[in-house]
A and B are shown apart, each in its own frame.
Chain A
Amino acid sequence: MIAGGSAVPRGWMRGSSTPLRGALLGLLLERPGHGGELAHRLRVRLGETWRIDGGDVYRLLEALESEGLVTYSEEPVRGRKRGTRTVYRPTERTAEAVSDWMQTLLPREPVRRGIEAKLAVARRADVRSLTVALRRHQQECLALSQMLPPASGRPHTWQELLADCKRDGVQRLLQAEIDWADCTIQRIEEHAASAH
């Protein structure tokens, strides 16, 4: 289910690095920065499990620049070193692109990445999009769980045992996702309720 069409180009929301791109744009809206600093902020905001690589961040910034969602300028460096460095900023279309991304539920996204990225940079106004995305995430995990073949009951061969172990791992992961989404929706709703 992808939200209805808008004037903002959707081309940038493609591929498995979309969550990372969305998070980058969200960070830029908070504060411009140079490549290394943005990579660091991403690492802090998204956590170690994302394994952020500085090189990827530069490539993504360049891709976003060609989409017109990021602009850059050379600025003199303050401090010891002389010279300039590239500072990236949002464009006038970035805010709308981020709102759009918040509402868009991309099909077949890797489990959880999209939600984590959105949670990392969501603004107060995105609370509704987040709740919808979390519910959809639960739905997807439920469907994925149902697609798993059932246990045979007693594994006879080494291969069957391995298949049982792997399937067990995936089931636990999906269950954890469903529970986490449940808990997160509850936290968000309780916070929103108490704020009034």
Chain B
Amino acid sequence: MRRARTDSRRPPRSPASEHPLLDDDSQDPFGADAASPPLLAFHRVVSCCQDATRQVTILDRISFQLAQGESAGLYGAPKSGKSTLLKLAAAIELAYAGTVRFEGVDVARIGVAQRARLLRDRIGLIVDDAWRPSAGETVLDHVAVALGSKGVAMRHARRLAIAQLDEVQVARLAAESACGLSLTDRARVMLATALVRQPSLLLIDEPAPLPSVTERERLIALIRQIAARRGIALLLAAEDLASLQGLHCLMSLSQGRLLTTKVQGATVVEMRSRRASAAERP
């Protein structure tokens, strides 16, 4: 694989002495010949940005793994770096240090074109403010067009789009204009747009930005059910814990550090129930 040396998006790597947080990366356990790599793996990922006079660290040596079909929630206050983490996971941005691997492949070492293909075919990214329907576009066309870039013929794409809208329970909106949808409907159409491409990983920034509590819970329950049924791995980032229930593991970001409830492949909950049932056995 060609090293992406001329990739303008990648910041120049400073020598270790210039950034106190840069560590030796040779401890990466997910080398190219690992047996069955997790779907998504962050290893000591650092992300920073320039803020007037100094360098601000947004993510400080973040490490976690997400297996195929696994679901994880990421909780963090506003401005805690959740969106940055999702962008790194979608390979839209590159880390300052550390590695991000998707299906075992280091996303920093593949070209821009290949990363774009990942985002189109394998990874679904839903960010609320990315909603930009074209004027006069129907909901059906808006979803179908998402498949067009994959080279699917429009008639077939429309059939897939209808089925997808049905799965998110808004098939009745197919002929409606994509502009002027209610918040709830909009959220479901955005979900359909991402799901119709059949990603193996779904990244959602604020899964249910809706005013009603019950609407929020219903949408999130729907997302969980679809992901579980189709074996899609899920990473939801939210500013409230209530949106992140019923997932395999929970993480939280504070001061650039990551806390997680996952312990070597199992969650803390599973470990405790295993211990409890082991204690019960005669």
Contacts and interface: CB of A to CB of B under 8 A. Distances in A.
Contact of B242 (A138, A152, A153, A168): A168
Contacts of A138: 252, 254, 259
B255 interface: yes
A182 B77 contact: yes
Interface residues of A, number: 28
Contacts of A179: 77
Contacts of A139: 259, 261
Contacts of B224: 150
A142 B75 contact: yes
Given A142-B259, A153-B218, A171 B254 contact: no
Contacts of B213: 168
Contacts of B249: 146
Contacts of A145: 241, 244-245, 250
Greatest chain B CB density within 10 A among A142, A152, A185 is at A142
Nearest to B247: A146
Interface in A149-171: 149-154, 164, 168, 171
B145 interface: no
B221 interface: yes
Interface string B222-249: 1010000000000000001110111101
B261 A172 contact: no
Contacts of A151: 217, 220-221, 242, 245-246
Contacts of B77: 179, 182
B210 interface: no
B264 to A, nearest CB: 15
Contact of B255 (A147, A149, A150, A185): A185
B21 interface: no
Interface string A73-102: 000000000000000000000000000000
Contacts of B245: 145, 148-151, 171
Given A178-B75, A181-B254, 9 more contacts: A143-B268, A145-B250, A146-B261, A146-B269, A151-B245, A153-B214, A153-B222, A168-B213, A171-B241
Interface of B: 75, 77, 213-214, 217-218, 220-222, 224, 240-242, 244-247, 249-252, 254-255, 259-261, 267-269
Interface of A: 135, 138-139, 142-143, 145-154, 164, 168, 171-172, 174-175, 178-179, 181-182, 185-186, 189
